[in-house]
Structure 1
Amino acid sequence: MKKPNRIKERINDKTNLLVKFNYISSAISFLFGLASVFVLKIEHVIPHVFFIYPIVNLFNVFCFKKHRSLTTMAIVTSILSLVSTLLITVFSGGIESPFIFVFALIVLAGYISTSMFGKIYIKVVLAFIISIYLLGVFDFSIITNVVPIESKKLFSLFSILFSVYLLGDVFGKNLLKTHHKLYKSKTEIEQRIKEKEILLREVHHRVKNNLQTVSSLLNMQSRNTDDDIIKAIMRGSQNRVIVMAMVHEMLYMHKNLSKIEFKPYVEELSNYLLKSLNSEKCDISLNIDIPPEIELGIDTAIPLGLLINETVTNSLKYGFIGKHKGKIDIRMEKRDSENSYVLHISDDGTGFLEDDNLEKPKSLGLRLIKSLAKQLKGHVVKDLTKTGTKYTLSFEDIDRQYKRVA
């Protein structure tokens, strides 16, 4: 509802400005006509134009009350102003006439209708001004100054007053009013954005706290059982919850509330898993090669973090049994496409069982990896030619896809 209201408000502002311009210019034109007859003693053309202009212009406003077409009224006003200004300029000295500056004002009136009409209108006005100049240069008889010599200075004064009053009282006040409205709207929008950012940070903070509470509950539940299988399941679920909590924590701490820097997130996640799952106390080195400029949205970061959690967890739990030293590599690169990436996760451990198949996964971890890859609009493969375990995930930043669709 807000957008149509703003459009309606803009149309009302344009309408009020154009109607005000018509009323004031008509009144001043009529007074200028009286001054031309009784003060300046001008007998030909100019007084007639000054008297005809307000009659036609007010009739134009009256017709607008019936048809309600702002464009029609603006076009009629623009043509009438152009013809009137042209005639007065031609018969008051041509290019040397002080009234020629009124052309600048009527160009502003042309832009009231639409920017397209204003662009066309300014070209027409420029063409007329150049034509007036050429008529004077080639001494065409059409250029006739009907203003008496003794009234030229006074005519110049009236012309300047006419221009300045229209510029200041009509356009100047309106531009100032529009500026104040824009500044007020800008301030209100900035305030709302700030309030929403604070609210969003609070949401991320609360979600993170809630997830940590869930993690603590899972930890407490695991302590109430002596079954190692149940404890392992609880521990796996707890780690998955922590993966999601870390994303919300980073969004809460980061300036950008919609994206997180992915490299620090992976470093924090990997170090946490290494500390919590390296029960064999194996000397495992982490090599994380992710460009620092890569930032991902929450809809991409969470499933990707869960996938990294599953692969690194598998490596730590099963990849280094009986070994005293090992290495885990996590490497990510951006493809040429705007939102396409490739993630490589590998270790130099003992590898995986031959019956572990990503096409028909048996374990929960492999099923999650396959499902998360699908969620990221990508696919994951295992490299059977390398020592240890290596996953290659091709995926897309689904947050950017949603923005393009929107």
Structure 2
Amino acid sequence: MPWQNKRHIDDRLKDKTKLVIKVNYFTSIFSLIFFLACLFVLNITVVIPYVFLAFGVLNLINTFLFRYHKKLTLTYNIVSIMTLAGASIITLYSGGINSPFIFVLALIVVAGYVTTKSYGTIYLNLNLLIIVLIYSQSVVDFSFVSNVVPENSRNLFALLSVLFSVYLLGGVFGKNLLHAHHNLYKTKNELEEKINEKETLIKEVHHRVKNNLQTVSSLLSLQSRNIADKEVKGLLKSSQNRVISMAMVHEMLYLREDLSKIEYRSYVQELAEYLIRSIKGTSSNITLDIDIPDLKLNIDTAIPLGLLINEAVTNALKYGIVDENKGEIHIKLTKDDANEYLLHIGDNGIGFPETVNHKTSNSLGLKLINNLVRQLQGTIKRDFSKKGTHYIVKFKHIKNQVAPPMPTPSIS
């Protein structure tokens, strides 16, 4: 849901903000401590202590300014650039490629990837370039850059540099990443529970809709028993079959793992066999030829297409293949490269004249077929090259429940 996505983004932004501010405060305080240690403990009086002092003061100012402009990206990039410049200078003046402070450069890459993948990639490439340049300087041995750390203080300087790198990597970034991982795992479990609950509810809805439709079908069946007029009784039976065709869709969605789509071949098979039993009886002379690949259709496409097939097959069984005559019903559904579907449906019965269509006839079945094609945003035409009644329907996969109005297609 949109509000859940917004909440997730807000939480992630808060975590990033806390991490950047925490790292800024920690590195600023550590830099100021390192400044004092360089002057009064390590006896370093050239360049290095003043780089620590400048970084500590400027980064505190950078962190305080964030409270006013609230631009986390700006704050992060300023501290990253200052860290990159400061760490490079300190590395150069504390032994070059052999300086223990060079590991601080790696922390900038970690911080970049914690923020975003793109920043991580940028700072990774920058650091690789700087390390190569530092190595080149060590090889060439520029005279204006030398190790300003006194010989007797180098081990202690190395210890402090490594402790700083390890603590920042493990105590700050490590803790944050672990916390983020736990939150992500917790959110994942919560989402899985909600998805399972939603799927259970959707299944229950499909089950209840199917039961309600079957109840409607039973009521129509009971009502038809009290009617002597064969025409009215036939109308009720046709309505009952239409309700059953919709109920089958909901039943299949209820029984299958995928709640969004149904396997259409099995649906058409069950629907056609039910119609044959319902209209012709259990011992009919009807041959059913279904050619449908492994296609899955959503409910918005499956129901109108199922009703269309219901009408075409019903008309074929009632008016095309009369009495106890042998007959064949063909249903073929294909999908082309343009993601459009083509339905060939017909019978080898007696057919009806070319002049008869939904406009010239009072047949509810023909009008329904035409309206259902419009709902599928498709076109329909009759194939007069074959014996009987054959339709060719071209339609699209419906993505929305309410299809946009389309011009009424003609049955030619």
Q: Is the 8 A contact 2:285 2:325 kept in 1?
A: yes
* Mapping for residues 359-378 of structure 1, pairs under 5 Å: 360-378=360-378
Q: Give the equivalent residue in structure 2 for 1:199.
A: 201
| Identity %, equivalent residues | 53
> CA–CA distance in 1 between the matches of 2:338 and 2:402?
16
How far residue 383 of structure 1 moved from its aligned partner, in angstroms, is 1.1
> CA–CA distance in 2 between the matches of 1:132 and 1:186?
44
Match status 1:391 vs 2:391: yes
**Partner SS for 1:393:** strand
How far residue 100 of structure 1 moved from its aligned partner, in angstroms, is 0.5
How far residue 79 of structure 1 moved from its aligned partner, in angstroms, is 1.5
* Mapping for residues 149-298 of structure 1, pairs under 5 Å: 149-278=151-280, 282-291=284-293, 293-298=294-299
Deviations 1:111-138 (A, max 9, x none): 4555444433332222211111111122
How far residue 355 of structure 1 moved from its aligned partner, in angstroms, is 4.0
Give the residue type in structure 1 aligned to 2:206.
Answer: H
TM-score scaled to structure 1, two decimals?
A: 0.94
Give the residue type in structure 1 aligned to 2:203.
Answer: R
> CA–CA distance in 1 between the matches of 2:361 and 2:335?
28
Structure 2: unaligned runs, 5 residues or longer:
404-412
Q: Give the equivalent residue in structure 1 for 2:329.
A: 328
> CA–CA distance in 1 between the matches of 2:349 and 2:282?
13
How far residue 304 of structure 1 moved from its aligned partner, in angstroms, is 0.5
**Partner SS for 1:308:** helix
Deviations 1:221-247 (A, max 9, x none): 111111111100100000000000000
Give the residue type in structure 2 aligned to 1:44.
Answer: V
**Partner SS for 1:362:** coil
> CA–CA distance in 2 between the matches of 1:122 and 1:255?
45
**Partner SS for 1:231:** helix
Deviations 1:297-328 (A, max 9, x none): 00100011101111111111111225532111
How far residue 275 of structure 1 moved from its aligned partner, in angstroms, is 0.6
After superposition, the Cα gap between the structure-2 partners of 1:33 and 1:302, relative to the gap in structure 1 and judged at 3 Å, is: same
* Mapping for residues 334-373 of structure 1, pairs under 5 Å: 334-338=335-339, 340-358=340-358, 360-373=360-373
Q: Is the 8 A contact 2:214 2:243 kept in 1?
A: yes
Moved >6 Å (runs of 4+): 400-403
After superposition, the Cα gap between the structure-2 partners of 1:354 and 1:162, relative to the gap in structure 1 and judged at 3 Å, is: closer
Moved more, 165-174 or 71-80: 71-80
Give the residue type in structure 2 aligned to 1:177.
Answer: H
How far residue 56 of structure 1 moved from its aligned partner, in angstroms, is 1.4
Q: Give the equivalent residue in structure 1 for 2:140.
A: 138
Q: Is the 8 A contact 2:379 2:393 kept in 1?
A: yes
Give the residue type in structure 2 aligned to 1:326.
Answer: G
How far residue 381 of structure 1 moved from its aligned partner, in angstroms, is 1.1
How far residue 219 of structure 1 moved from its aligned partner, in angstroms, is 0.5
Match status 1:109 vs 2:114: no
After superposition, the Cα gap between the structure-2 partners of 1:148 and 1:50, relative to the gap in structure 1 and judged at 3 Å, is: same
Match status 1:382 vs 2:395: no
**Partner SS for 1:344:** strand
After superposition, the Cα gap between the structure-2 partners of 1:288 and 1:173, relative to the gap in structure 1 and judged at 3 Å, is: same
Moved more, 103-112 or 231-240: 103-112
Structure 1: unaligned runs, 5 residues or longer:
none
> CA–CA distance in 1 between the matches of 2:283 and 2:130?
89
Q: Is the 8 A contact 1:75 1:110 kept in 2?
A: no
> CA–CA distance in 2 between the matches of 1:324 and 1:112?
75
> CA–CA distance in 1 between the matches of 2:284 and 2:15?
74
Q: Is the 8 A contact 2:23 2:172 kept in 1?
A: yes
**In angstroms, what is the RMSD of aligned CA positions?**
2.0
Q: Give the equivalent residue in structure 1 for 2:307.
A: 306
Deviations 1:137-168 (A, max 9, x none): 22222331111222222222211111000111
TM-score scaled to structure 2, two decimals?
A: 0.92
Q: Is the 8 A contact 1:18 1:74 kept in 2?
A: yes
How far residue 357 of structure 1 moved from its aligned partner, in angstroms, is 1.9
> CA–CA distance in 2 between the matches of 1:186 and 1:282?
55
How far residue 191 of structure 1 moved from its aligned partner, in angstroms, is 0.5
Q: Is the 8 A contact 2:300 2:400 kept in 1?
A: no
**Partner SS for 1:399:** coil
> CA–CA distance in 2 between the matches of 1:181 and 1:346?
58
